[in-house]
Amino acid sequence: MQRLSALFVGAVIGTVFIFLSVNESLSSSLAIVLRVLAAVALTSVVVMWLLGVKVAQSGGALRAEPNAAEGFFGRRYVLVVVAAEAALLFAGLTLLRNWSLPEQVNMAWLAFMAGVHFVAFAPVWRERGLLIPGVVLILIGVAGFALAAATALECVPVASGVLTGVTILAGSAAYSWRTLTSMR
């Protein structure tokens, strides 16, 4: 259930990225379509999470449990990793602000940090599959910085934010399905 709960959290974060990043540079109809698709994907992950809860309550478990010693969200995770990520996230945002960079660049930093999060946890959770979205998100963050450097600031939230949200949400939905179907 920890895995499904983590994917549920990921789906919420992906949806938030999409809702916050759709801006006036997109047509209103495309913005509506993106928001509706995000809501549908989030709903599907919620349904899979609820089905997973039902299976777990009836004695079911994953065929292949996560190998991490304390599970996904042990005390060490919260104390060390979340604190380190928060420090890096806010330190980076502070540096960007101190360098007087436009606010749109923050979304590129958030995408980059989300990618680092996934890449760092691939070996910790012994889930090589996390490397794919991690590398994609790092590249999306770098692309956002490149767009900002090319003075295409209005594109940074869409490129870094929407693409980050789509990557996280699609991965959460796909892995939720895989996890749910592997429960016995």
DSSP H helices, the chain, are: 2-21, 28-57, 75-76, 83-98, 105-124, 131-149, 156, 163-181
CB 171 within 8 A of CB 50: no
Question: What digits encode the pLDDT tens for the residues 141-166?
Answer: 999 999 999 888 888 888 899 999 99
Count CB-CB contacts under 10 A for residue 153: 17
- Mean per-residue pLDDT over the chain, rounded: 86
Report whether pLDDT(118) > 50: yes
Using the 8-state DSSP alphabet, how is residue 126 labeled? T
- Give the model's pLDDT for residue 62: 58
Question: Which residues does residue 62 pair with via DSSP β-bridges, in sequence order?
Answer: 183
Q: Tell me how far apart the alpha carbons of residues 173 and 179 are, in angstroms, rounded to a whole number.
A: 10
Predicted confidence band of residue 68 (pLDDT cuts 50, 70, 90):
very low
Q: What is the pTM of this model?
A: 0.85
Domain boundaries in the chain? 2-181
